Structure 1
Amino acid sequence: MRFFWTLFWTFLLVQMASYVVASMIGAAYEFGTASIIAVVSFVLITALGEIIPLEPIEKH
């Protein structure tokens, strides 16, 4: 379920950011390109989440 919500929010936020950036620079908004960026971002975020250890740090 956590992968679903990660994909959901990543997809929405990347689509929103792509729309805003395209509007700011006067370019056309492209749903397909933004979707590809969203999927790549999802994979990177998921991989990063799996790489980071969850063990508590005792003392430095």
Structure 2
Amino acid sequence: MKYVWGFVWVFLLIHMLTYVAGSMLAVPYNFATGSTLGIGAFILLVVVTAVLPSPTIEKH
């Protein structure tokens, strides 16, 4: 379930970023570009979290 919500948030935030950056550069909004970047960012996020070691919690 965490991957589903992670994908939804990454997808929405990347689309927002694409829209705002395109507006600042006077470029028309393209849904396909935002979707491609969103999927790529989600894959990168999953790979990075899989590679990073989990923190160890010491019990006293």
Aligned residues: 58
* In structure 2, distance between residues paired with 1:33 and 1:7: 16
CA distances 1:30-60 after superposition (whole Å, capped 9, x unpaired): 00111000000000000101111114177xx
Aligned positions of 1:37-56 closer than 5 A = 37-56=37-56
Aligned equivalent of 1:18: 18
Q: CA deviation at 1:6?
A: 0.8
Unaligned stretches of 5+ residues in structure 1: none
Aligned equivalent of 1:29: 29
Counterpart amino acid of 1:56? T
- Deviation above 2 Å: which 4+ runs of structure 1? none
TM-score by length of 1: 0.90
TM-score by length of 2: 0.90
* In structure 2, distance between residues paired with 1:21 and 1:57: 41
Please give the secondary structure, in 1, of the residue aligned with 2:36. helix
Cα RMSD of the aligned pairs, angstroms, is 1.3
